[in-house]
Amino acid sequence: MSSLSFLKFYSSNPKLRGIIFTLLGGILWGFSGTCGQYLLSIKGFDATWITIIRMIIGGIIILAFSAIHKKEQLKRILLNKHDLFHLFLFSIFGLVICQYTYMTAIFYLNAGTATVLQYLGPLFIMIYTCIKTLRYPSAKEYISIFLAILGTFLLATQGNINALAISSQGLLWGLLSALGVMFYTILPINLMAKWGSIIVAGYGLLFGGIFLYLISGEWIFPFSIDLYTAFALAAIIIFGTVIAFILYLQGVNDIGAIKASMISCVEPVSAAIFSAIWLNSQFTFIDIIGFLCIITTVFLLIKSK
């Protein structure tokens, strides 16, 4: 496709563009999870350093991108003490928890299973919303609770109630990553409405990565870098953080948050496929049923009022 044809497509087919961009964003997120699994299981990295590198460099790139059109906003948010405080809260309790727990879950499990468990996040958001608004779940929400519990049970036990089929640490970190998604979603709502999602995400990644580096106690990068390691890190930072985020935001703008959220459910499918093909992760028929239960949960919650 020539550059002129691409520009014509970009401007004249917003719905198709939104579907394609959201789909690509979800696939890239899934691929980046598999790259994390490669670094953790093959190259001996730990989840802390992957998270630090991803957040700091990803944050810098996103902020540099923002500076092209929103230079003044980048300065003003730093001068607003109230918003800066909430930005720090989001970076630590939202992004750091979400990113670190996800990578740790991958370490104990695999990219596909960890990503599916993280997709329990909308369930926790729904429960939080019900408690906050003092209401009972709707019929769809009750069904999604059942499917989420069933899907998690199948993944954890393979249907055998007497024994866990996966690492208990992996299950715990996977559920914590879902809680991280809840905090990651709820904490920045007012900030993003005021300053825009790109600026908030850029600063949140940068501040969170610096915070994790300072508390980790690991001051010197302890791993050797070869060509494959560099490619995996670049895929996580550039494709799985920066480009996927921008593609998803454009998709939301073109087709709306509901459709974009549904299409982005390709992420766990993408992670599972890449993990199986590239790293020989094994998934049983019961695993697939568990995946479908949890993904169906997300669809029901997206459609629920």
Domain boundaries defined on the chain: 25-303
Residue 269 contacts by C-beta under 8 Å, 6 or more apart in sequence?
A: 30, 291, 295
When pLDDT is averaged across residues 213-219 and rounded to a whole number, the result is 87
Query: Tokens in use for 16?
Result: 């198709």
Whether the predicted pLDDT of 292 surpasses 80: yes
The structure tokens listed for 156 are 């954890």
User: Using CA atoms, how far apart are residues 91 and 210, in angstroms rounded to an integer?
Assistant: 10
pTM of the complete model = 0.90
Q: Please give the pLDDT value at position 262.
A: 83
Total number of residues shown for the chain: 305
Residue 304: which pLDDT band, with cuts at 50, 70 and 90? low
At 10 the pLDDT is: 54
| Centroid of chain to Cα 120 | 12
| Structural contact between residues 138 and 298, judged by C-beta atoms closer than 8 angstroms | no
C-alpha to C-alpha distance for 138 and 135, rounded to whole angstroms? 9
**Alpha carbon of residue 146 to chain centroid:** 23
**Are the C-beta atoms of residues 232 and 53 closer than 8 Å to each other?**
no
| Statement: residue 209 has pLDDT above 80 | yes
Q: What share of the chain is helix, strand, coil (3-state, %, to 5)?
A: 80, 0, 20
pLDDT (0 to 100) of residue 12: 61
pLDDT score of 148: 93
Q: What's the pLDDT band for 5 if we cut at 50, 70, 90?
A: low
